[in-house]
A and B are shown apart, each in its own frame.
Chain A
Amino acid sequence: MITADRLSLPSTPVEWTLPSSRKLAVTSLIVIETAMFTIFVVAYVFYIGKSLVGPYPSEVLETPIVSTICLLASSLTIVMAERAFKRESVGGFRLWWATTILLAAIFLGITAAEWKRLIVGHHLTISTNLFGTTFYSLVGLHASHVIVGLTLLTLVLVFSLKNSIRRADGERIEMLSWYWHFVDAVWVVVFTVVYVVGR
């Protein structure tokens, strides 16, 4: 009975704007990741001071000031890169983007050095005690997110150097920066829990 009417579904243009699917998806991803990190943070906090054998956090942990400054600064440099992108300044974009990559790489390098010191110097592995298990899991989960971010950032730089980024890719770059800000925000929580509260 409706067949005849089907073609006449009203398609009168109305004022109609919708949120961007891409932004919705990245926001969703960030919510999902937040829920996941929350569980690891809860596990860390729950097990603070419950290790039966050493080494204990107060004996072996040193506050990673330099790497924290680098990671937090990279949130600023990526904003500068975005601004340069909007001004259509290719050189500025590449410069700030490369600085972001450098800062992230320094962060990872310092984390690697810390882990080496803990594993080789203090014989703290993931199976030594509860501190080791929760520390390497939480910091490692964050570091793996930094690695993913670093890979994506590098990819964008390569595309930029090959001149294959167009203005229309602006939203994609913005999404990557959202993810990067999220990784930084998580580090603030991890830092507080592991190096401030947990000692």
Chain B
Amino acid sequence: MVAVNPEIPLTRPWASPSIMTRLHGLVVTVDHKKLGLMYIASALSFLVVAGLQASAIRLQLAIPNNNLVGPDTFNRLFTVHGTAMVFFVGMPIVAGLGNYLVPLMIGARDMAFPRLNAFGFWMFLFGGILLYFSYIGAPGLSGHGSAPDVGWFAYAPLTGRAFSRGNSTDYWTLSLLVSGIGSLASSVNVIATAFGMRSPGMTLMRMPLFVWMMVVVSAMMFIAIPPLTAAQVMLLIDRFLGGNFFNTQSGGSAVLWQHFFWIFGHPEVYVLMIPGFACASEIIPVFSRKPIFGYSAMVGATTMIAFVSMGVWAHHMFSVMSSVGNTFFMISTMAISVPTGIKIFNWLATLYGGKIRFELPMLCCLAFLFQFLIAGLTGIMLAAVPFDWHLTDSYFVVAHFHYVLIGGMLFCIFGAIYYWYPKATGRMLNKKLGLAHVALFFIGFHLTFDTMHLPGLLGMPRRIYTYDPGRGWEILNLITSIGVIFQIAGIACLTLNIITSLRKGEKAGDDPWDAWTLEWATTSPPPEYNFETVPAVRSARPLWDLKHPEDPDWKYE
């Protein structure tokens, strides 16, 4: 017998719940869809903040001998910008998309461990707040320091007690430690859900590629994040208990920190990038009106990227290693372009002969395709040791990885937002505003990051807060900074679009894109239980089978 609270139904059942009730609902929720949206909303908020920090960096570098922000502030800006973008924008977007979509795509009613899921979200959020709280909290009792200023990879011995006074480095350490535990919680959940809760008939090779790639990413996190956690614990031991792990004066090794950090750091790049591939692998087939070309090759290539990416970390360290080590990591780094190339050709082959619909999600994915190709090409350039010795720690490297993460991952995320927003809210995003966003951001991105390669080639190092005129860098830096204006305008259009379309957007219906995966079989937004009856599937495109009983996929499997 359920106890009935007489007050709730009697007091105006037609009124929408008060703001407090709603907030309380968000705090106590264990629903994978709400948590997924909370992940994405917080990540987009961090994106705006960390993006404004990047804008401040570009404003400072727009003209030579600028004194807008001092060197100390500048160090904090690039440290917090980098840390926040990787850990509090990229990672939660991955977790949010995975949370929202994996159960829906495999026909499950929730994740395997809903409470663990909520735990993961709150750990991430508090980690992010901890990072930004450092601006006021870090001086602490000693009165030294502010936000962390040691770079996002925090090389030793810069992080030692002697060189980093106050608590700024501790805030950096703890925020990453806490959010790392949250990421692990959510990745355990994805694996347990995808393997343990598939609907009847959905064999592993019938899972949507999105789910496959999230599974691979989660497995990569198992191997990649614990080294970071371990290294952070060691750093805490050094700083608080007087340990010697990275203390060079008592025989410790600063290079060991670099190894530990990059053992995490390079797989991390793929942890961020593969979810981008995952979105593209769902969007490109639907808007080409063809099934994905080479499904099993895609699965194999993803798995191969996961394995090879565990053995490439020291290409971040070509300048500190022996030539034998350099050769190994050069070859392994170049090897990873093979599975990545397989993917690009598979997407191209999916487009080939397709009946392409140039909707917003597809536009983002087409931009992604050729931008990611360029990013991969500069990656191969940097993988060559002699070339890297010339360019390491220059703006060429900065341009390369921003090309990967913005031109590659972020464009896919934009595509994902346009593609799944109707499912999550029941409303379409405005197409005109969307076109404005994509066009403005596209122009801004290329102004900024195409140009940024050049001062790197001309010898401009990373992390300098200003530079003298007369080196040929001025005009290039100015163009780079001008691009930011377009990017800000683009993001403003996107934000406006997301907010206004919540109420005013065109009604989407259950399946606005005529797509093939199970999430489109339920209502938009889906009910809390996702599916009334747990669906049974017979092929990789269950909705195609349903819509085309005369020519279902399972006849050919």
Q: Which residues of A contact B (CB under 8 A)?
A: 1-3, 5-14, 16, 18-22, 24-25, 28-29, 31-33, 35-36, 38-40, 43, 46-47, 50-53, 126-127, 129-130, 132-134, 137
A127 and B547 CA atoms in complex are apart in Å by 69
A6 contacts B510, CB within 8 Å?
A: yes
Interface: B77 (CB within 8 A) = no
Which of B187, B192, B534: most chain A CB closer than 10 A?
B192
B201 contacts A18, CB within 8 Å?
A: no
> Given that A13-B200, A21-B196 are known contacts, is A137 also in contact with B229, CB under 8 Å in the complex?
no
B545 CB to nearest A CB, Å:
8
Q: Report chain B residues within 8 Å CB of A32.
A: 184, 188, 222, 225-226
Q: Report chain A residues within 8 Å CB of B191.
A: 24-25, 28
Count the B residues whose beta carbon is within 8 Å of the partner chain — how many? 58
A22 and B193 CA atoms in complex are apart in Å by 10
Q: Report chain A residues within 8 Å CB of B245.
A: 43, 130, 133-134, 137
A6 contacts B188, CB within 8 Å?
A: no
A127 contacts B243, CB within 8 Å?
A: yes
Which of B241, B244, B521: most chain A CB closer than 10 A?
B244
Q: Report chain B residues within 8 Å CB of A53.
A: 250
Q: Report chain A residues within 8 Å CB of B542.
A: 9
Q: Report chain B residues within 8 Å CB of A38.
A: 227
CB contacts between A and B, total, < 8 Å: 144
Given contacts A9-B533, A24-B112, A39-B263, 11 further A-B contacts (CB under 8 A): A2-B510, A13-B536, A14-B536, A16-B201, A24-B191, A32-B188, A39-B227, A52-B250, A127-B241, A127-B242, A129-B250
Interface: B423 (CB within 8 A) = no
Q: 0/1 per residue, B160-203, Cβ < 8 Å to A?
A: 00000000000000000000000010011101110111101100
A39 contacts B226, CB within 8 Å?
A: yes
Q: 0/1 per residue, B220-248, Cβ < 8 Å to A?
A: 00110111011101100110011111000
Within 8 A of A (CB), among B295-344: none
Instruction: Find the B residue at minimum CB distance from A137.
Output: B237
Q: Can you name 30 A-B pairs with beta carbons within 8 Å?
A: A1-B547, A6-B510, A9-B521, A9-B531, A9-B546, A14-B200, A16-B200, A18-B197, A21-B113, A21-B193, A21-B195, A22-B192, A25-B189, A25-B191, A32-B188, A32-B226, A35-B222, A39-B230, A39-B260, A46-B253, A47-B253, A52-B251, A127-B241, A129-B251, A130-B245, A130-B251, A130-B252, A133-B245, A137-B233, A137-B237
B241 contacts A28, CB within 8 Å?
A: no
Q: Report chain A residues within 8 Å CB of B188.
A: 25, 28-29, 32
A9 contacts B196, CB within 8 Å?
A: no
B243 contacts A6, CB within 8 Å?
A: no
Q: 0/1 per residue, B278-306, Cβ < 8 Å to A?
A: 00000000000000000000000000000
Interface: B139 (CB within 8 A) = no
Q: Report chain B residues within 8 Å CB of A28.
A: 187-188, 191-192, 222
> Given that A21-B112, A21-B192, A137-B234 are known contacts, is A126 also in contact with B242, CB under 8 Å in the complex?
yes
B237 contacts A25, CB within 8 Å?
A: no
Interface: B151 (CB within 8 A) = no
Interface: B557 (CB within 8 A) = no
A172 CB to nearest B CB, Å:
14
